[in-house]
Each structure stands twice: as C-alpha cells, then as structure tokens.
Amino acid sequence: MLSYAVRRIAMACLLTLFVSFIAYSLIFAAGDPAAALAGNASTAADADRLRQLYGFDRPIIVQYLHWLSGVLRGDLGTSLYFDQPVATLLLERFTTTARLGFFGLVLALVIAVPLGVVAGRWPNSMVDRLALLLAVVGQAMPSFWFALLLMILFSVKLSILPASGTASWQSFVMPTIVLGYFSMPAIMRLTRSGMISALESDYIRTARAMGLSEARVLFDYALRNAALPIISLSSAQFGFMLAGSVVVESVFAIHGAGSLAWESISRADLPTVQALVLCFSLFYVFFTMVADMLNAMLDPRMRSK
C-alpha cells in the first residue's frame, strides 16, 4: 500500500509541474500580458512600462523558473492586479468555492445514490423512468438558465432567498441546488449501471440464497461493489466544482476561485493565475489520488496493480 501511495504521489507532482508550465506559456500565447494588465484605456507606452516593470520581456522559461523558485520558498507572489498577496486572495476565494462545492456534492450524492440504487434494483420501473427523466433534464439544461429560473422564482417573485452574494447561508441555497443538480445525473446513472451489473453477479445470488435481507443485499453487498466508480467520479466532480463552477459563481455573484481564475486570465495577472492553476491541479490530483486509495482499500485487488 505504501509503495503504491509513493508511486502515485510522485506521478502527481510531475503532472502538477507540467500543467503549471503549460498554463504559464498559454498566458503569453493568448496575447500581450502587459497590454492585458494595463487595461483597455492604456496606451502602448503604458504597456511598455509594465512589460519592463514586471519583466514580461524576458524569456518565458526564465520567468517561469523565477516564479517556481518563489513557490518552492513558499512565496506565491503578489497579485499584479489587486496588489495584494496571492496567498491571502486564494485563501478567501477557495474557502467560498470549497464550501459551495462541498454542499453541491453532498446534495448530488444524497439524491443520486439512493435514486440510482432504486433504479438499478428495479430497472425500467416507473422510478427508473422518472430518474432517467431527471437525469436527462439535469444534463441538458444549461446551468445559467436553471440558475436564472430559480432566481426569478425565489428572489424576485417570492422574495425568500437572496439573488446574489455570500452574506448568509440562504445565499448558498440556490447555487448549491444548481451545482448539485448539474453533477447529479452522472453519479446517478453510474450507480444504476453499477447496481445492475452487481445484482446480476453470483455473490448476490449466494447472499440472497443465504436469506439475507434485501436491504443488506443492496447496500452491503451490491452497493459496496458498485461504489468504486462512484467514488472516482465524485472526487473528479469535486475537483471540477472547485475549478469549474465559473458560471454558477458568476450568476450568483459568489466570488470564488473559479471566477477569480477566469478574470485573472483575461487581465494576465500571472502570479494569481499560476497559483490558481497550481491549486486546481493539486486538488484534482489529490482527490483522484484519494479516490484511488479509497478504491484500493475497498478492493484489495487494486493494490497490487
């Protein structure tokens, strides 16, 4: 188990470094970072000054290594846009995003897993059909549209929930529903198919023959086996929620890491973008790794692979 973990961690570090260098280069490929930073009311002279001030005219690899050496010393740098330490900025934004992502995932799991179990136990039943309908709608409906519908109903018409911001727990209700509903279908469908194939296997027949209760058969035997891909998917979904909830964050004006990344890219705030990319890839790698470890714990066969 230990050597498995070490191997995974080493791979993860290399992957993170690779991603961060690509991200660094992409900012330069996307246009003149000095002009982006100077803003759209700037002159060529303003951009030139910033280019020299921040050393954008040096080779990209030199700039990257300079940044990397800072990171290795624990210094994420100062945001070129906000003129504030990147670390402080990130901590604030990630707290919000992590909270939202966590609520969203919990909501998705709470709905998706039981529905998936029931749908898998009684395929093609009424419940299964309804669950399918719910999944298709959830997958097909753009999240901004769903978000606006909720906003119109709950905050404009009924005035019971705030339309935007993060001032109270109520502010998180609608974003959680939107985010949760978006990741629910995949988890549910996966649970369903996992349950169907698990329920067809020999050990379930044996379990039933032993006279175990239906609940034990479903949750202890079938779901435990069906759970492996669900865990992998959920952790990937969580990673996605931390990085990719830009639309939801933007509609509900929740200033999280996703929207910070989006904005920072367009204004070429390199230290912020880099720190975010680093965090995103670390999270992604971390959660995938945790999922692998969990799977390895649940399924001893995987440890030897």
Residues that bind other proteins (CB under 8 A): 30-33, 35-36, 38-50, 53, 78, 81-84, 89, 92, 144-145, 148-149, 151-153, 155-157, 159, 162-165, 250-253, 255, 259-260, 263, 266, 268
- Nearest-10 crossing angle of helices 223-244, 257-266: 40
| Alpha-carbon span 203 to 221, nearest angstrom | 8
287, 8 Cβ separation under 8 angstroms:
no
Minimum distance, C-beta of residue 58 to other proteins, in the bound complex (Å) = 17
- Tell me the HSE value of 11 on the side-chain side, using a 13 A CA sphere: 11
Give, in order, the Cα–Cα distances in Å from 216 to each of 30, 204, 211, 242. 56, 10, 10, 35
Nearer to other proteins, 80 or 184 (CB): 80
The length of the chain in residues reads: 305
Residue closer to other proteins (CB basis): 40 or 124: 40
* Minimum CB–partner distance for residue 62 and other proteins (Å): 21
Q: Of all helices (H) and strands (E), which one includes residue 162?
A: none
| Beta carbon nearer to other proteins, 144 or 169 | 144
Please, which residue, 219 or 262, has the CB nearer to other proteins? 262
CB of residue 161 to other proteins, shortest distance in Å: 10
Q: Which is nearer to other proteins, 173 or 294 (CB)?
A: 173
CB 270 within 8 A of CB 166: no
Burial class for 240, CB neighbours closer than 10 Å (0-12, 13-18, 19+): buried
Q: How far is the CB of 176 from other proteins (least distance, A)?
A: 17
Least distance (Å) between residue 36 CB and other proteins: 3
Q: Select 69 or 266, whichever has its Cβ closest to other proteins.
A: 266
Place of tokens 């690509």: 22
Work out how close the CB of 249 gets to other proteins at its nearest, in angstroms, rounded to a whole number.
8
